[in-house]
C-alpha cells in the first residue's frame, strides 16, 4: 500500500477515517516510513523516541481540548466538574477515555449553537467559525470516535424497534453549494453508521418524468422506511434554490413551495420521521480554492463540472435564496442548522453531533420478545 | 459513554470497528479505565508501563503474523522476501506499516483457497478453519485496516469511471444460514466502503406481488447501477434453497432454476457486473450457541424468530440444497467462495479480501476531463 499511498491525494490523506486518524497507529505508520531501511535496533529506538514525543504532545493537546470542552459543555454525570478535574483525569489516564465522558454533553451544545430562525442571514455567519466548539481537528476527531459506539447502539435500537415494519425513522437532509463537503459528510459521518440501517439518496437534476410530477413526488418516493436513517444529498430544497436562481419555474411557483414544504415536513414529523436539516456553509474564497484543486488534479477532474463556475457566479443570488428558504422553513418541528464548513473536520463533527442528539431524543428501546423465551430455549435445546 | 458501554452486549464489544480495534487507542482506553481515580503521576507511570508491555506483545504478534503471511503470500514488489526480512522490518518499524506491504499479496491467496467447484461438499469443509490464513483475530483486523485505504481508492475510481452513467459495477452476494454472520459482513466489511457507492438489498420472504412474478424479477430490480458496489443479503439463491427444502415450488421448478441462474449471471458479467458470491459456512454447534445467545439476551430477542429453529431442524436438507446450488452455479464467470464462518474475524477478512481482489482485477481508472482544463482554470480565476 506504500506505493498506493503516494498516489493518494492530499484530500484522501485528510479524509482517512476519523477513528484511524485519532489512533496512534498513524503516528507509528509515519514514524515507520521515516525509519524504513535503517538498521533494526537503531531505527526501533528512534521510532520509539518519536512515539514518546508524540504521546507527550497528545497529552498536551488533550489537556487543552478538555479545558475547551468542559467550558462548552453543560455538566453531566460522569463528566468532569471542572477544567482542573478534567486535566487531572487526562494526565492520569489518556485523552480518549475522558473525552468519551465529556462528549455526552457536547451534542446538545451544537444544537443550541447552530439552529437558525426567521432572521438568519448567511452573510452574517463566518464560514470559518466553529460554533460551540473551541477544539481543533484532532479534538474533533477524538470526539467523533468517542461518539461512534453510542450512535451505533442508538441506530440498532431504532432499527430493532421497527422490526414489525412499523416505527420511527430519521431523515438527515444535507444541503450546500458545490464543494461544501456533502460527500465528506456521507463518507465520514454517514459512513460511521451501520449501512444496513442507512438509505442515501442523491438528488440530481430532475429527470423528464420527475419534472412532469409535483416537485415533492420524487422526494416522497425516497423517504426512509421505519427504523431507517435516510440521508438526502440535496433535496426538495433545490426546488426553491436552483429553481429560483435559474428561473426554472415562475416566481409564483417557487414562492408557493415554502408553504408546501412546511406542510410536507410537518406531516413527516407527525408520522414519526425526525428531520435533521443541515446547511453546509462555505465561503466563496474557500470554494474557489476547492474548485481550483479539482482542476489542478486529474484524479479530481471527474468531480468538476463547468456548470459549477456558472453557479459560483450567482453566489449572492444563491445566498439570498438560501436565506429565504432557511427563514421560511426552519420550524420547531423541522429546524434548520447552518454548519460553518470551511473546516471540514468541524462540519463533520457538528453533523454527527446533531444526528446523535436527534437519536438520543428518540431514545429507541429494544422491543419485547414476541415469543415465549423459555419455550424457545427448550425447542433449541432439542434441535 | 462509560455507562453506555456497560449496557453494551458482548457482541457489541466484539463488533467495534476493525480499524478501532487494530488501533492502540483501545489499549490506552482499557489501561485508562483500570487506572481511573488513581492519583495523576502514579497512574500515568503505570498506564505507560502497560502500554509498553502491550507494544512488546504486539511486536511479538506481528512477528508471528508476518511469518504466517509471508508463508501464505506469493512474493510481490514491496513485500518482504523472507520471514527474517519481514521480522526485521517489524522490529525496525511497527506491525501496521509492514502488514500493509505484505497485505498486497494476500487477497489472491483467499481467492485460491476459498473458491469451490462442482465437487463441493459443505460437510467436508471445517467451519472453524481459516484457509489461506494462519494469523489470529488481531492479525486479521490489522490486515483489514491496512487494506481499507486501497479499497477506498479503487471504489472511488470505479464510481468515477461511470460518471457518465455507463460503466462497470460489482455485486457481492452473501448467503448463509441464520446467525452465519451476514449482518456482521454488512457492518464490518461493507461498512468500510464509501456509503455513496454502495447499495445493500436484503431479500426477505417474497411479497405477494413478488411471488406472482418470475423469481428473478425482484433481483433484476435490485441490481447495482454502473459504478456502484451492490450487496445482496440473501438473494435469488433462496429460490433454490428454502424454496426447495420447504417445497414452496415443484421440484421441476427449482431444478430448472440452476440453469436460469447461470444464464442470468452470465448475462450480468457480460454486461460489466463482476459477481462475488460468498457462502458463510457455520457449524451446527456454533449456530446453536449463537441462537442460544439471542435467546439469553433481551437486546437480541428482536433478532430471533421461532422459525429459525424449524430451519435449524432441516440442517442436512439445507446442506444438501447448498451443495447442489454451489456445484451447479459456481462458474468461471461467477464462481462461489465458501467462507468458513465460525470465526467471525476470519470471515470478515476473507470477504474483504475477495472484494479487494475483484476491484483490483477491474483496475478502474480516473476518467479523463470532459472539458478544457486550462479554459476552466481561466474562467475560475475571474469568477
Chain A residues within an 8 Å CB radius of B40: 88, 91-92
- CA dist list (Å): B252 to B118, B248, B249, B297: 21, 12, 8, 43
Chain A contact present for B19, CB below 8 A: yes
Q: What are A193-210's pLDDT values in tens digits?
A: 999 999 999 999 999 999
The whole-angstrom separation of Cα B47 and Cα B28 is 7
Q: Give the A window 108-137 contacts with B, CB below 8 Å.
A: none
Query: What pLDDT shows up at residue B72?
Result: 47
Domain ranges of chain A: 11-102, 117-362
- Cβ contact (<8 Å) for B32 and A94? yes
Chain B contact present for A151, CB below 8 A: no
Q: In this structure, what DSSP letter does residue A231 have? A: E
Average pLDDT of the segment spanning B52-59: 54
- pLDDT bracket for residue B165 (50, 70, 90): confident
- pLDDT bracket for residue A108 (50, 70, 90): confident
The least confident of A260-269, A350-359, B37-46 is B37-46
The whole-angstrom separation of Cα B214 and Cα B260 is 11
Q: What are B327-349's pLDDT values in tens digits?
A: 999 999 999 999 999 999 999 99
Helix and strand totals (H; E) in chain A: 19, 6
Three-state secondary structure of chain B: CHHHHHHCCHHHHHCCCHHHHHCCHHHHHHHHHHHCCCCHHHHHHHHHHHHHHHHHHHHHHHHHHHHHHHHHCCCCCCCCCCHHHHHHHHHHCCHHHHHHHHHCCCHHHHHHHHEECCCCCHHHCCCCCCCCCCCCHHHHHHHHHHHHHHHHHHHHHHHHHCCCCCCCEEEEEEEECCCCCHHHHHHHCHHHCCHHHEEEEECCCCCHHHHHCCCCHHHHCCCCCCCCEEEEECCHHHHHCHHHHCCCCCHHHHHHHHHHHHHHHHHHHHCCEEEEEEEEECCHHHHHHHHHHHHHCHHHHHHCCHHHHHHHCCHHHHHHHHHHHHHHHCCCCCCEEEEECCCHHHHHHHHHHHHHHHHHHHCCCCCCCCCCHHHHHHHHHCC
Chain A contact present for B16, CB below 8 A: yes
Position A7 pLDDT exceeds 60 = no
Chain A residues within an 8 Å CB radius of B4: 149-150, 153
The residue ranking higher by pLDDT, A40 or A223, is A223
Chain B contact present for A317, CB below 8 A: no
Distance from CA of B259 to the nearest CA of A (A): 31
A373 contacts: CB under 8 Å, gap ≥ 6? B295, B301
- pLDDT bracket for residue A180 (50, 70, 90): very high
Chain B contact present for A35, CB below 8 A: yes
- pLDDT bracket for residue B75 (50, 70, 90): very low
| Three-state secondary-structure class, residue A73 | coil
pLDDT over 70 percentage in chain A? 73
Query: What pLDDT shows up at residue A38?
Result: 41
Query: What pLDDT shows up at residue A6?
Result: 33
Q: In this structure, what DSSP letter does residue A165 have? A: S
- Cβ contact (<8 Å) for B149 and A36? no
Q: In CATH, what number does A117-362 get?
A: 3.40.50.300
The whole-angstrom separation of Cα A179 and Cα A200 is 18
Chain B contact present for A183, CB below 8 A: yes
- pLDDT bracket for residue A166 (50, 70, 90): confident
The per-residue b/e assignment along B68-97, b for 16 or more CB within 10 angstroms, e otherwise, is: bbbebbeeeeebbeeeeebbbbbbbbbbbb
Query: What pLDDT shows up at residue B121?
Result: 97
Residue B241 · residue B266 · CB < 8 Å: no
Q: Give the A window 185-244 contacts with B, CB below 8 Å.
A: 186-187, 190-196, 198, 200, 202, 233
What separation, in Å, do the N-terminal and C-terminal C-alpha atoms of chain A show? 48
- pLDDT bracket for residue A165 (50, 70, 90): confident
Position B86 pLDDT exceeds 80 = no
Residue A158 · residue A227 · CB < 8 Å: yes
Distance from CA of A232 to the nearest CA of B (A): 11
Q: What are B4-53's pLDDT values in tens digits?
A: 333 333 333 333 333 333 333 333 333 333 333 444 456 556 655 655 56
Query: What pLDDT shows up at residue B46?
Result: 61
Angle CA B90–B92–B98, to nearest 5? 35
Q: Give the B window 338-367 contacts with A, CB below 8 Å.
A: 366-367
Chain A contact present for B297, CB below 8 A: no
- Cβ contact (<8 Å) for B1 and A77? no
Distance from CA of B258 to the nearest CA of A (A): 29
Position B360 pLDDT exceeds 70 = yes
Place of cell 444496513: A196
Query: What pLDDT shows up at residue A352?
Result: 97
Query: What pLDDT shows up at residue A107?
Result: 85
Position B91 pLDDT exceeds 70 = no
The whole-angstrom separation of Cα A378 and Cα A14 is 54
pLDDT over 90 percentage in chain B? 68
φ, ψ (nearest 5 deg) of residue A230: -85, 145
- The mean of the pLDDT values for chain A is 82
Chain A contact present for B141, CB below 8 A: no
What separation, in Å, do the N-terminal and C-terminal C-alpha atoms of chain B show? 47
Distance from CA of B101 to the nearest CA of A (A): 6
Amino acid at each position: 500500500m506504500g506505493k498506493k499511498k503516494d498516489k493518494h491525494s492530499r484530500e484522501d490523506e485528510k479524509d482517512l477515517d476519523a477513528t484511524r486518524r485519532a489512533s496512534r497507529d498513524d503516528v507509528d505508520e509515519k514514524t515507520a516510513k521515516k525509519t524504513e531501511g535503517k538498521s533494526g535496533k537503531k531505527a526501533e529506538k528512534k521510532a520509539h523516541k518519536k512515539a514518546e514525543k508524540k504521546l507527550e504532545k497528545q497529552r498536551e493537546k488533550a489537556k487543552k481540548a478538555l479545558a475547551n470542552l468542559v467550558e462548552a459543555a453543560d455538566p453531566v454525570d460522569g463528566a468532569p466538574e471542572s477544567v482542573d478535574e478534567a486535566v487531572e483525569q487526562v494526565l492520569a489516564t489518556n485523552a480518549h477515555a475522558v473525552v468519551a465522558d465529556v462528549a455526552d454533553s457536547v451534542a446538545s451544545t451544537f444544537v443550541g449553537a447552530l439552529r437558525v430562525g426567521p432572521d438568519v442571514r448567511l452573510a452574517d455567519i463566518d464560514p470559518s467559525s466553529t460554533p460551540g466548539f473551541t477544539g481543533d481537528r484532532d479534538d474533533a476527531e477524538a470526539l467523533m470516535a468517542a461518539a461512534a459506539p453510542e450512535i451505533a447502539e442508538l441506530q440498532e435500537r431504532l432499527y430493532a424497534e421497527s422490526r414489525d415494519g412499523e416505527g420511527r425513522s430519521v431523515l438527515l437532509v444535507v444541503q450546500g453549494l458545490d464543494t461544501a463537503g456533502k460527500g465528506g459528510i456521507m463518507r465520514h459521518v454517514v459512513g460511521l453508521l451501520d449501512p444496513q440501517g442507512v438509505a442515501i439518496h442523491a438528488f440530481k437534476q430532475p429527470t423528464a418524468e420527475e419534472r412532469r410530477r409535483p416537485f415533492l413526488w420524487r422526494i416522497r418516493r425516497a423517504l426512509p422506511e421505519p427504523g431507517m436513517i435516510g440521508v438526502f444529498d440535496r433535496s426538495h430544497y433545490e426546488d426553491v434554490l436552483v429553481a429560483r436562481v435559474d428561473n426554472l419555474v415562475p416566481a409564483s411557483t417557487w414562492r408557493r413551495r415554502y408553504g408546501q414544504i412546511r406542510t410536507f415536513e410537518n406531516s413527516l414529523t407527525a408520522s414519526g420521521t425526525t428531520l435533521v436539516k443541515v446547511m453546509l456553509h462555505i465561503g466563496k474564497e474557500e470554494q474557489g480554492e476547492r474548485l481550483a484543486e479539482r482542476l489542478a488534479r486529474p484524479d479530481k477532474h471527474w468531480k468538476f463540472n463547468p456548470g459549477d463556475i456558472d453557479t459560483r457566479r450567482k453566489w449572492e443570488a444563491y445566498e439570498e435564496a438560501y436565506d429565504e428558504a432557511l427563514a421560511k422553513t426552519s420550524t420547531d418541528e423541522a429546524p434548520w442548522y447552518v454548519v460553518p464548513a470551511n473546516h471540514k473536520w468541524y462540519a463533520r463533527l457538528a453533523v454527527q453531533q446533531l444526528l446523535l442528539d436527534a437519536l438520543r431524543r428518540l431514545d429507541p428501546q429494544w422491543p419485547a420478545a414476541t415469543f415465549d423465551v423459555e419455550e424457545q430455549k427448550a425447542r433449541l435445546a432439542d434441535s
